[in-house]
Structure 1
Amino acid sequence: MSNRLPDFDPAHATDEQKAVLQEILSGPRGNLNGPFLGWIHSPEFAQHAQRLGAFCRYKTGLPLRLSELAILVTAARWRSQAEWYIHYPIALDAGVPAAVADALREGQTPTFDNPDDGLIHDFAVELFESRRLSDATYDRAVDRFGHVTVVNLVGLLGYYSLVAMTLNAFGMRAQGQTELPFAE
């Protein structure tokens, strides 16, 4: 999975590591695919990060399609091999059109049939590129989703950037991943 971190052996896990792993495995994810076996080397960090991730993935107030679209925008922005590999099929199952996802992977601006999809894309891209949001984009998002969900959307984009940085920094791949969606 990674040649930058020592292999993690659950048989030699500390009590703190076992607690984190158990919480992840018994939660809505049910697996350790993603950054978790990297983060487990710092169990306190892993615990905080995985709890934030569970919120960002499942409780933002956005429909799953929009959350997964935001994750794909983030994965494409970071060219995160494992993040894309994991979330691409989830996004398609949630209703993100394959043409939209493929355009993102290829670094193109997709054509959106759904205005909410376009808004999520514009919000994420503007925030990533300019590190700010124009009043117009911010106001559109708040008018459509409300302040709480916009706060949660910013959190989701930040969390999945953290995931992408972790996966990229440690050269991690997803379980079963044999192909790379982005050239290296």
Structure 2
Amino acid sequence: MSSKAPRFPQLTLEQLDDKQKPLGEQIVKVSSVGLGGPYNPMIRSPVLGQLLFDLFHYLRWQTSVPHKLNELAILIIARQWRSQIEWFAHAPIATKAGLSADILADLKAGQRPSKMADDEALVYDFVTELTTTHKVSDDTWARAKKAFNDQQIVDLTAVAGNYVMVAMLLAMAEQNVPPGKEPPFKDGEK
């Protein structure tokens, strides 16, 4: 554990100014990490923070992508970025949404999960191709068009991009899991 001062000391509701407080009150109603995680740096830019909060709300609760597959996309990004908080927050949600322990274990180990259903494999391939090669192959595109409608393809792309941004905010701010909680990714692991 580092004794280095946090880049953004953790804010509390009581510390928020008049521009930040309405957003802070919305966040604590829905966040498993309170004003922690990406919200701690986000709230320092309250206009952007509100826009991002609204986007997060859509991409978590109103997206056209089935919940289990949406959470899989989030975890793919969390693993690519080794984003401690993203994985910490979303692995239990993904489990509750029906993602298997085998998939989570393989993904956490940095491996392509071996026991995926067709729709899970499609999400894995689509998100991984897009984030690592910066394109979607014709084969993966054809599979996506068979399995998803246009809105679902756009929403899946947006959730992946959004959680890259979240991982970037967390990395920039050096945010970690809540005190006393075990980070999912250990130092020295790939």
| Length-normalised TM-score, structure 2 | 0.88
Tell me the residue number matched to 1:169: 172
Q: Structure 1 residue 23: deviation in Å?
A: 2.4
Worse-matched range after superposition: 29-38 or 127-136: 29-38
Which one of 13, 17, 28 corresponds to residue 14 of structure 1? 17
Give me the whole-angstrom Cα distance separating, in 1, the residues matched to 2:15 and 2:116: 51
SS at match of 2:19: helix
Worse-matched range after superposition: 2-11 or 157-166: 2-11
Alignment of 1:121-160 (within 5 A): 121-160=124-163
Note the residue ranges of structure 2 that are not aligned, 5 or more in a row.
Answer: none
Give me the whole-angstrom Cα distance separating, in 1, the residues matched to 2:37 and 2:7: 15
Number of paired residues? Answer: 182
Give me the whole-angstrom Cα distance separating, in 1, the residues matched to 2:7 and 2:127: 30
Percent identity of paired positions between Structure 1 and Structure 2: 35
Tell me which amino acid in the other structure corresponds to 1:162.
Answer: M
Give me the whole-angstrom Cα distance separating, in 1, the residues matched to 2:16 and 2:72: 35
Tell me which amino acid in the other structure corresponds to 2:112.
Answer: T
SS at match of 1:51: helix
Tell me the residue number matched to 1:52: 55
Q: Structure 1 residue 80: deviation in Å?
A: 0.2
Which one of 83, 87, 96 corresponds to residue 84 of structure 1? 87
| Length-normalised TM-score, structure 1 | 0.91
Tell me, yes or no, if structure 1 residue 38 matches structure 2 residue 41. Answer: yes
Worse-matched range after superposition: 169-178 or 56-65: 169-178
Give me the whole-angstrom Cα distance separating, in 2, the residues matched to 1:89 and 1:158: 21
Give me the whole-angstrom Cα distance separating, in 2, the residues matched to 1:177 and 1:83: 17
For residues 19 and 153 of structure 1, do their structure 2 counterparts lie closer, same or farther at Cα, with a shift above 3 Å needed? Answer: same
Give me the whole-angstrom Cα distance separating, in 2, the residues matched to 1:144 and 1:33: 36
Q: Structure 1 residue 33: deviation in Å?
A: 4.5
Tell me which amino acid in the other structure corresponds to 2:50.
Answer: Q
Q: Structure 1 residue 122: deviation in Å?
A: 0.5
Give me the whole-angstrom Cα distance separating, in 2, the residues matched to 1:76 and 1:177: 21
Give me the whole-angstrom Cα distance separating, in 2, the residues matched to 1:139 and 1:55: 26
Q: Structure 1 residue 99: deviation in Å?
A: 1.1
Tell me, yes or no, if structure 1 residue 25 matches structure 2 residue 28. Answer: yes
Tell me which amino acid in the other structure corresponds to 2:161.
Answer: G
2:72–2:124 CA contact under 8 A, matched in 1: yes
Q: Deviations over 1:144-182 (max 9, x none)?
A: 111111001110001111111111111112335521222
Q: Deviations over 1:39-88 (max 9, x none)?
A: 11111111111110111111221221111111110100111011101111
Tell me which amino acid in the other structure corresponds to 1:104.
Answer: L
Q: Structure 1 residue 113: deviation in Å?
A: 3.8
